[in-house]
Amino acid sequence: MKLTRRRFLQTSAGGGAFLAGAMPHIWSKNSDLVWAAGGEIKVGVLFSLTGTTAIIEESLNKATILAIEEINAAGGINGMKIVPVIEDPASDPATFAEKARKLVAGDKCVSVFGSYTSASRKAVLPVVEKQKNLYWYPTLYEGRECSKNVIYTGAVPNQQQDEFIPWLIKNFGKKFSMIGSNYIYPKEENNYCRKLLEKYGAEVVNEEYVPLGHSEFSSVINKFRQQQPNVIFSTVVGDSVVALHRQYKAAGLDPAKMPMASLTTSENEIAAMGGEAAAGHFTSAPYFEVHKSPENEKFVAAYKKRWGADKVTHFVSEACYFQTYMFKQAVGKIGKGDITPNTIREAVKGVEMIAPQGKVRLDGENLHTWLWPKIAQAKSNGQFEIIVQSKEWLKPDPYAAYPNQVCTEKGLVEKKV
């Protein structure tokens, strides 16, 4: 799917009459590339609208478009309209790379907002680094990455697990079973989880991975029943989350005794599986739809008005929303001068804003985001109840599991421990 400028302006809240030639051209330092011209700034929107992760990524597309429409309706950025070029990578990492190449080299987008899985981000990374573009990645992820071509607005392991794991041990016990989708994110999250479990004297009784899109969990459920872990630590993503929860419930397992503790299960997956299948289980994330703040009330109301009263917001769609406003702030600081991926990156360092989850900041050293950890329990009505909320925002440490490494403005630095 590709959203043309004409269709976008017709459907946007900020549509109306717009004279493309009313604003001066803005050129990059490379004379053959035009990053912004005619009062327009082109950005790529690269989320899967089909395939196994479309269940979540379709909402990321919606949150990004909502923010763009709001910005344009308010006058754009220094009078310039944001024009999104939408591509569907169909939940396939190779297609992500292909579409990213088109957006940055063919469409001349000055930034691309995209990806849910780390597999797709890893596929895009060589493209944006070679083209010296900027990729805005909104998803919680495993860390262990230090790129100057990615803006990371989702949580890293220390922001989801540092409070979550000791809380789970205290409330449920020390035997953990790990189940995840088979790619880098679950494995690295589990690596960090193991370090925390060891620190607190807990143990892993089983660790297992299933393919993306996997839907048959009977053997996994049997192991849960046999091993009786106190906590099932889940990093399953996409459609598989729905299947896992439904089969857990059908097997008669009890979340009061053996809850699933997830870093990935949001309101969006719960809407797909049904509240009864999710009730009693836990998620750690910086944002939940029920969070009380004026900014969140505005976000939720706008999202439902634009996309439907039955739609839900969640911790990745919220990051999609606020990172688009971070982009606005950065470009606004540059003015109508030299708008390039490089100048945007430099301008966004240290940017702060009041997001729906609370005040967030883009760290100038590692290009990750200061966030507000929360622990919540799923309810049968499809929403969460926030049980624990951090008293302070938490600095991102993408190399928390690797204390001999640190991401700095100069790149990855090795240090003695």
Q: What is the pLDDT of residue 336?
A: 73
Q: How far apart are the first and last CA of the chain?
A: 49
Number of other CB atoms surrounding residue 166 within 10 Å: 15
Nearest Cα to Cα of residue 267 among 379, 356, 157, 388: 379
In CATH, 5-155+292-370 is 3.40.50.970: no
How high is the pLDDT of residue 34? Answer: 60
Torsion, CA 51, CA 127, CA 152, CA 8, rounded to 10: -60
pLDDT confidence tier of residue 408, bands split at 50, 70 and 90: very high
The Cα 221–Cα 363 span in angstroms is 41
Cα 43–130–141 angle (5° rounding)?
70
Question: 10 Å Cβ neighbour count for 274?
Answer: 15
Homologous superfamily in CATH for domain 158-288+374-414: Response regulator (3.40.50.2300)
Phi, psi for 366 (deg, rounded to 5) = -110, 0
Does the structure show a pLDDT above 60 at 205? yes
Whether 158-288+374-414 and 5-155+292-370 are alike in CATH topology: the answer is yes
Average pLDDT over residues 1-18: 38
- Domain limits, the chain: 5-155+292-370, 158-288+374-414
State mean pLDDT over 173-199: 96
Q: How confident is residue 2, by pLDDT bands cut at 50, 70 and 90?
A: very low
pLDDT the model gives residue 108: 96
> Which amino acid is present at 198?
E
User: Which residue's entry shows tokens 């991102």?
Assistant: 396
CA dihedral 291→360→315→282, nearest 10 degrees, is: -60
